[in-house]
Amino acid sequence: MIIVTGAAGFIGSNLVKGLNRLGYTDILAVDDLTDGHKFLNLADTNIADYWDKDLLLKRLKDGLGFVPHCVFHQGACSVTTEWNGRYMMENNYHYSKELLHYCHDENVSFIYASSAAVYGNNSVFEENSNSEYPINIYGYSKLLFDNYVRRNFLQKSSVAETSCQIVGLRYFNVYGPGEAHKAKMASVAFHLNQQVQVEGEARLFEGNDGLKDGEQRRDFVHIDDVISVNLWMFENPEVFGIFNVGTGKASSFNEVADSIIDWHGKGVKCYIPFPENLVNSYQSYTQAEIEKLRSVGYKSSFLDVKLGIKKYLDVLNNDIDRRTQKK
C-alpha cells in the first residue's frame, strides 16, 4: 500500500496517475473533500481506498491496520496569501510531524512537499540556511518543518540511526493539468490562458522592485517533471535529504504570456498596477539551484517554458473544448 496525502489536489492527483502508469494501484488517497469539486482530479485514477485527512490522523494513533510501503505527503494549505498562522501551522507543520514520526517509527519511506517559498526574496536559492528567509506564513511553515527534519533526522548522526528514507522536495512554480480547482492560486499560465482565450489579452503586473513591466521572473516547472522527481526518489530509497525541484532557469512573466499568445495565435499583453497587498510578501525572482539534485543521480532534463506551456495548453484547451461541447 502507498499513501498519497493531498491526493485530490494538483500535485497529489498527478502523482497518483504517475504511480498508476508504473502499475501501482494499491494506493490510499487521503485528502479533505470539503471542496467536492476536487473529486474530478481523482475520477480517472485507480486507487484502493479514500480516507479523509482527519481519519488518517486518528488511525495513525489507533493503528492503520497495515504498514505502507511509502508515504507521499503532498497535503498542505498552499495559499501563499493566507495569514491565519494557527491554521497554517496545524495543516503544514503539525500534520507533517505526525506523519514523519509514524514513518520513522515504522520504517516507511517519507517523501514530502516543501516549497521555494522558504527562500523569500533572496537571490540565491540553495538548500542551506544562508539562503532561507521566508516572507509569508506559508513559507515559514514549510521552512519550520524542513528545519525540524534536518535537526532530528538528517544530521549525520541521525541519518546513521535512521533506516527509513526521508526526502523533502522544494517545488518552485509548478504548472500543468489538474490545477483548475486552485482558483486564485493556480499558476500564471492557467490564468493567462483564460484571459487570452476569453478577453484576448494577458494581464501582467507592472514593474516592481526595480523591474520593468512583466519582468518578474520565476522558475516555472512543468508538473510532469515534478512527478518524475518524486517517482525517482521512490525508486531510489537510499537517497536522503532536501532538494530543490525546478528547471534551474528563471523565465519572465512576459515570456510565459508570449508563449500563450503564440499558442492561441491571438492576444496582446497589458500591464496592471502591482497589488498593494503583495508588497513585501511577493517573490519577484526565483531560480532553483539543482546541483544537489543532480549530485544524487537525478539525470532527467526539465522542460523549458516554451515547450512546457505548449504541452500544457494542448491538454488544457482540449479539455475546455470538450466541456463546452457537452454543454
Dist CA 29 CA 72 (whole Å): 10
> Residues 270-293, buried b or exposed e (16+ Cβ, 10 A)?
ebeebeeeeeebbbbbbbbbbebb
Instruction: Domain ranges for the chain, please list them.
Output: 2-173+221-245, 176-219+249-286+304-326
Does the pLDDT at position 325 exceed 60? no
* Distance (Å, whole) CA 120 – CA 265: 36
pLDDT above 90: residue 281: no
Predicted model pTM: 0.93
DSSP class of residue 285?
B
Distances (CA, A) of 38 to 25, 298, 326: 20, 31, 20
pLDDT band at 162; cut points 50, 70, 90:
low
Please name the residue that has the C-alpha cell 486552485.
182
For the domain made up of 2-173+221-245, give the CATH fold: Rossmann fold (3.40.50)
What are the grid coordinates assigned to 264, written together?
A: 492561441
Q: Which of 286, 32, 41, 82 is nearest to 184 (CA)?
A: 82
pLDDT given for residue 327 in this prediction: 42
Q: Is the pLDDT of residue 230 over 60?
A: yes
Tell me the residue ranges of DSSP E strands in 223-323.
241-245, 251-252, 268-272
pLDDT in tens, 234-277: 999 999 999 999 999 999 999 999 999 999 999 999 999 999 88
* Mean confidence (pLDDT) of the chain: 93
C-alpha grid cell, residue 137: 506564513
Q: Convert the pLDDT of each residue in 243-254 to its tens digit.
A: 999 999 999 999
Active site positions, annotated: 138, 182
Q: What is the mean pLDDT of residues 175-201?
A: 94
Instruction: Check residue 157 and give its pLDDT.
Output: 56
Sheet holding 109-115, edge to edge: 49-52, 27-31, 2-5, 70-73, 109-115, 166-171, 241-245
For 177, phi then psi, to 5°, come to -60, 140
pLDDT at residue 324 greater than cutoff 50: no
pLDDT at 318: 81
pLDDT at 158: 59
Whether pLDDT at 181 is above 80: yes
Q: How confident is the model at residue 323 (pLDDT cuts 50, 70, 90)?
A: very low
Segment 160-168 shows an average pLDDT of 82
Q: Which CATH superfamily hosts domain 176-219+249-286+304-326?
A: UDP-galactose 4-epimerase, domain 1 (3.90.25.10)
